[in-house]
């Protein structure tokens, strides 16, 4: 039975991943620091879905606290899935040092622990934000990503480089998965689909930054989790691995179309408040998923409207 470490296990993607891994027979050690970026009770509700599973062990700790990390986690894991990070492009512009600490420094602490404890496989959660504002689409992993446009993106790119350094020096195996906009049940309250749904039911206008032509490659959370698990399986079957891999849906959706789709599903009256574009935001994200398909057998299967319906069902029940 494989034993894995999932950092950020109480978050949106982390809770779905942990729950799925447990259902597949993995032993899961989960870590979360309940970062105040959004309410603790949201994450506690996520954790309640599986925290009593006999295969699950949980530690509330901050990955920046190196002494505690080493005290609690100095065991050999078959794979480490590192999802924990400070999230959000816009907040990273206001407080870049916090992102450097919790994204870059925390990752360094974790991979030094990995090196010293005999764990040598990691799936790292990177982001489509590393591509910046590239106009050449779809984005593939061979593109030059040396021009990030937010501190958040910079920290994600920095961790990809950090991982490569440790791969080179210590023969540790890494797959950096570049997530494109993930949505579905338990989505963070600050993200567009959750935020827009809440505002519609509160009879408030939806803020639309720009003219609505910006687009995102929305990926349903179960498809993302499937890709993560395929990356774990690939790492466990191979040695000498270092790969950057997109996990997206290969189908950008315009912001204005997303807004109308959510309004139609909720049946609520739509009022849009048009605002200026925000600094650090990309115009379009668009994943080339050829590498994920060929290397991992990754295949996203959830259409946008089906995923939005699953999100809305969860939203109305919580």
Q: Which sequence positions are flagged as catalytic? A: 152
Q: Which residues, 6+ apart, have CB-to-CB distance to 82 below 8 Å?
A: 7, 8, 107, 110, 122, 123, 124, 125
CA angle 107/9/73 to nearest 5° reads 55
3-state secondary structure at position 45? helix
In angstroms, the Cα distances linking 112 to 68, 78, 107, 217 are 14, 16, 8, 34
Q: How far apart are CA 282 and CA 136, in angstroms?
A: 13
In angstroms, the Cα distances linking 177 to 33, 271, 274 are 22, 36, 33
The label of the residue with tokens 């993106």 reads 153
CA angle 258/261/263 to nearest 5° reads 110
Q: How far apart are CA 228 and CA 232, in angstroms?
A: 6
CB atoms near residue 166 (< 10 Å): 21
CB atoms near residue 115 (< 10 Å): 15
Q: How many residues does the chain have?
A: 318
């Amino acid at each position: 039975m494989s034993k894995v470490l999932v950092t950020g296990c109480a978050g949106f993607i982390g809770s779905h991943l942990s729950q799925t891994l447990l259902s597949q027979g993995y032993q899961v050690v989960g870590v979360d620091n309940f970062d105040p970026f959004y309410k603790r009770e949201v994450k506690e509700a996520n954790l309640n879905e599986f925290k009593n599973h006999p295969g699950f062990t949980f530690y509330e700790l901050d990955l920046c606290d190196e002494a505690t990390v080493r005290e609690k986690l100095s065991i050999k894991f078959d794979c480490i899935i590192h999802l924990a990070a400070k999230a959000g492009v816009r907040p990273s512009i206001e407080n870049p040092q916090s992102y450097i600490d919790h994204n870059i420094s925390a990752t360094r602490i974790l991979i030094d622990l990995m090196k010293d404890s005999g764990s040598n496989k990691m799936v790292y959660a990177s982001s489509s934000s590393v591509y910046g504002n590239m106009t050449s689409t779809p984005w593939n992993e061979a593109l030059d990503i040396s021009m990030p446009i937010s501190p958040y993106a910079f920290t994600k790119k920095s961790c990809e480089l950090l991982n490569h350094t440790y791969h080179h020096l210590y023969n540790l195996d890494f797959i950096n998965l570049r997530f494109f906009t993930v949505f579905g049940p338990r989505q963070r309250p600050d993200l567009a689909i959750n935020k827009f749904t809440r505002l519609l039911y509160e009879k408030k206008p939806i803020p639309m930054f720009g003219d609505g032509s910006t687009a995102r490659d929305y990926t349903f959370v179960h498809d993302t989790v499937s890709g993560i698990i395929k990356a774990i399986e690939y790492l466990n079957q191979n040695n000498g691995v270092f790969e950057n891999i997109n996990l997206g849906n290969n189908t950008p959706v315009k912001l204005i179309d997303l807004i109308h789709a959510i309004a139609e599903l909720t049946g609520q009256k739509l009022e849009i408040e048009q605002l200026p574009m925000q600094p650090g935001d990309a115009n379009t994200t668009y994943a080339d998923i050829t590498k994920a398909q060929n290397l991992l057998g990754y295949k996203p299967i959830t259409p946008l409207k089906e995923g939005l319906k699953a999100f809305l069902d969860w939203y109305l029940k919580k």
